[in-house]
Structure 1
Amino acid sequence: MTGSFLNNRPKGMMDLELKNVMTSLQERLTDQSTFKQAASIMLKYKWNAVPVTDRENKLIGVFTRTSLYHMIQKELSLDSNIMPYIKTAPVSLPLDTPYEKVIDLVRCSEVGTGVVTNDGNEPVGLITKADVVTALFSETYSLKDQLDTILDTSKLGAVLADDQGNIHFANSRFLQMFGLTNDDLTAVSFYDLFPDADDGSWKRMPTNLGEMFVRYSTYHTRSGGMGFIAILQEVSEGERVAEELQVVKRLKRQLETAINHAYDGIVMTDEKGRILIASPSLCDLFSVSNDEVIGRFVHDIFPELQLMSVLEGGIAEFSEFAELKGIKFAVNRIPVIENNRIIGAIGKVIFRQLYEVRQVFKKLEATENQMNYYKNQLKKTESARYTWDHIISEDEKIIRMKRSAQKAAKGLSTVLIRGESGTGKELFAHAIHSSSARKDKPFITVNCAAIPEHLLESEFFGYEEGAFTGANQKGKIGKFDLANGGTLFLDEIGDMSLPLQAKMLRVLQDKEFYRIGGTKRIHVDVRFIAATNQPLEKLVSEGKFREDLYYRLNVISFQIPSLRERVNDILLLSRHFMEELNGILGTSITGIEPDALSHMIAFHWPGNIRELRNVIERAMTFAEHGMIQKEDLPEYMIQSLRNETRADSKQSGDLMETAEKQAIAEALVQTNGNKSKAAELLGISRSSLYEKMKKLNV
């Protein structure tokens, strides 16, 4: 029975170390030992065999209980030497002998005892069948306790029976499920508990702890029969495990689908660079099979991907384009990091439809550029676009006005800009904001004459949701909200209706207003700049403009002179417009013929600078000789000058002198001061040019 047990060591049993099983030696015999010494040691330690060593303490044999009987039978004296009676071929086992060999040697030993030796063949212990069996029983009970603990912790019920249905093992969880005790097991048959048992099937059955899943399996008994094992698990737990298994399977399928289709190619390695996953498309590109690459080093199979650099450096990279079999590809190399340690790398390979991808990126870039353009344009509409450099003039009045306006820009006072249409009132408003402390804040323009009167109030103040029929469902914020923190430019303020003037006055005074249909008071911080081409004083006297609003607006006032009051600026502005429009129109106009310039100076310019720019643009479009000639000017200008009667001849003479002076100056500029060429350009002699220059003080 002992041999059978030793041969059928339970599978999975922990290996036993020989030093923990053997009996350590306290004494030993030598080749000089006597019968008396041997008998004394065997009696003292109850040993069946005692190791015998030579003078160097090397094992040479064993003195056994049989040796002792032979010496007694021959009635030898106690002083007799033991050497003729020892076993000279003892069973010896090194300390590192495998467990299975220990069992075989001890079982085959005649005395059932083996001698354990160290590396120097010196005896250090004895190993007996009893020692091994005791150790095995101890280990078996330990494993049984561990198995019981595992089964109980996992909430599994377990039962084992032989081919006759006799139950040999049942854990405590199983006993609870069926309301049994260990004593009850001898009277209960496995087949009574599980009448429909068959191998490998899952079934449901009721127990004291609720419905359970039952799985049966079989094993071969020592008698050659077929025994049963039943494992019981809670249905809810089993269903959860089954669901988790299905989730894992589904995720696996999804991952495989993603790997095969989401990327052109993908490869994953461990920390050593061994390939764990390689997608079919990648294998196709490199003409290898999946079986060939798994477990191999990535630098051997896919050296072009250079994944080892990521494993060494731990920094994600995107490669330059490479080429293989005429196919261009790029690689996104990504380290896999866990607990600040690199545990692998992923290579995402892009090689399909790269042309289409590039086209998409080009379209995306174009869209982004377009969006940025519109954003910039929107930003420009809400910010000042002009500075003092845009106001071009040599007129002393304008120069003084610019200096005064620059000082006014530093404050917070309301500014009223007056002047005829086209004189540049809006440029002054922009420039004042650009040089103020609010230059980085919004600059909002409202043309009071361009917006219908019934919409002007909602445009200024905004409205709440459902404030009136046709209103935006989400409401709307007004210009005052948009200008908060910045400047609000009220152009053509003289065209505002009286009811709206009253509300405007409240905002100017209190910086507060109500949205249309709203009850919440809105506070704003806005600086006001107003402009008009109408005589506000006359409108006040006629009752068409509120006097209190007029005085509220007229804190700092500037009157911009008309173009006919600053004739000297006509040539300066014309040059500026020509330089600007040459780039826009694609023309190459270099100047203005004197005859044309004299007509321009004589013209009264009701549209002021705006009209001048329009005339220059038209003339440049029709000019054919690189210079603007009289024929290129609008017909209405020529006709106006023809029909204009000048009662005051002196005034006419002065005007012609001014025109002549401007023409000479223009000719000298075009010829870089060469008077001969200037005279030729003007169509007069050099002496006549000198006389005119002296007369006109040029």
Structure 2
Amino acid sequence: MKVQKYMTPDPVTLRPQDSIFLAAKTFLAHHVDGAPIVDERGLLLGLITKTHLYQAMTGGLPLTTTVERVMTTGVVTVSPDDDLDKVFSLAVKRLPVVDKEGYLVGMITATDLLTAFYDKYRSAVDQLQAILDSAYNGIIAVDREGKIILFNQKAELLVGCSAAEVKGLRITEVIPNNGLMEVLQTGEPRTGQRLVVGSTTVISDRTPITSQGRVIGALAVFQDVSELQKAMEELVDVRKFAHTLETILETAYEGIIVVDPDGIVTMFNRAYEDFLGIKREEVIGRHVTEVIENTRMHIVVKTGVPEIGLKQKIMGQEMVVQRIPIFEDNRIIGAVGKVMFKDVKDLRAMAERLHALESKVEYYETELKKIRGSKYTFDHIVGTSGKMLAVKNMALKAAQGHSNVLITGESGTGKELLAHAIHHASPRASGPFIRLNCAAIPQDLLEAELFGYEEGAFTGARKRGKPGKFELANRGTIFLDEIGDMPLPMQAKILRVLQEKEIERVGGVETLKVDVRVVAATNKDLQELVEQKLFRNDLFYRLNVITLAIPPLRERNEDIPILAQYWLEKLCDEMGIPGKRFAPEALEYFRAYQWRGNVREMINTVERLVNTVDKTVIEGQDLPAGITGWNQAERDTPAARGTLEKSLCDTERSSLLEAMEKAGGNKTVAARILGIHRSTLYDKLHKYGLA
């Protein structure tokens, strides 16, 4: 398994001259916690992570500090042709992948490694299951609670039930009096139990499965003795059945020997020949004791008592054998012996390996669901105000169905958090939750990101193609953030997915059916965009089945103290800092502040206080001037409030005009100068009539 197969190509990168502020924005926009630093040619220079940013900010470095001052150099790298075993041994969360010249070609992340682990162990489990299914005997394994965890194909034939039907059931519900529960309790093996399973008589050998000296399950091997015994009983006309019997014996996997009443060998199959290294011609006509050590075949033909599931040491190896007398007209005419297993230890080890591998696969499946699933639930939505409770109640109802949901609200109000919670509470919770910020992806890449692409679809396309977000979200939920910024041509393609429930990869010719629930979010007025011909009317009504409008923080003032204390405790816990609390005066300042950036602004403010205030109690004097300055004695008078708001608007309008002038009318450049997103710039230009 090579790195190239599982690496993430074209990762998000930064230049050494980029600021740590731009790095933080890039991390948020692309949902990553680190990025490689490359020069203009793509040569790897270093690596920067959120930890670097935290250290820079707590160290008092300005946000304009370049990333080259804080990045890690001398980064450990791997090649696309390296084996994944090398990456596993390094135990690093993320590794840049570079070519021979040192140019960055991709990143190998924890998610990529988890996928590789899953593929590797799934393949091993499938191979092991195939081996067990090819066994002639029925094999059943149970865990320490007696629940079936292994049920091979021969067991399916014997019991008359498929593995899917019985896995997870207690063994006593499927085969009563099986003896496995006794083995689990005593930890001692039991052999030679005769059972009737369905219409078949079998002999069962049971042994405990142990790990680190502890019994973790039990294994039973069922040998169908009725077939062989019935065949022997029906050999009335030896001449008629001689050829048939010889063919059966020659094709049998197990070693089989037949003796006459005097213990003289009359039949000896190829499997026994190969095992003992003796030719058949050297065996036929000789006494069985001269051929097989520790045999009891000559005793069975005298006593007429079958011996089934007993151990016998042959050539220094412990085996499980059976010896059955052959009767004709109530007299013994011979006996047949068969090696059931050449080495019971191998089978026991195989079952233990399968159990271990299945446990690992179950673990990795759970971890993959965590990575691709939702991170938050309704418990993470903090607030007891009437408006927030109404939103939560409506969202809970929406979660139970499959209809599309449109979430509206100002920037920073928690639209993505609500989308996570809806998915987690929905019937699709076990499926993936895939996120995409429509404004963060360039228009020429958006189609490939949404619908995937086939190999060779365009220059630089990944070999074997790549699935899109809709394909990854199959049987789950896709969250389309900032849907109002989606280009009109792409809106038509999204509408087709919603109507037809199918997608077509870029460069592909086949359509793929998808079962996806769409949750969209925007901080814009989509109805107004429809009237301006900037958003499709039919797509708006497709998305607007259920609308959830999250109120801004200033409209749910009573939630502010709860939220502030919640995030203070959470951030202290995450940073390993002793608990802090807000003084009542500080919370009053928080309540009076307008929070234009809503909850996101509050989180950033609280995080700054956690990092800068050493005291246990955060008081009003510790708050930023932007918050306390808002709360002078005259703050509550309508005249003062109106004057302040007008002053802020005038200042913002002047800043917009100055930036547009410096940028020569280029809105992208102006947005970069102001440090805001281009879509935010458009909103503000419209607000002040500057568009």
TM-score, normalization by structure 1? 0.41
TM-score, normalization by structure 2? 0.41
The higher-RCO structure (CA 8 Å, 6+ apart) is 2
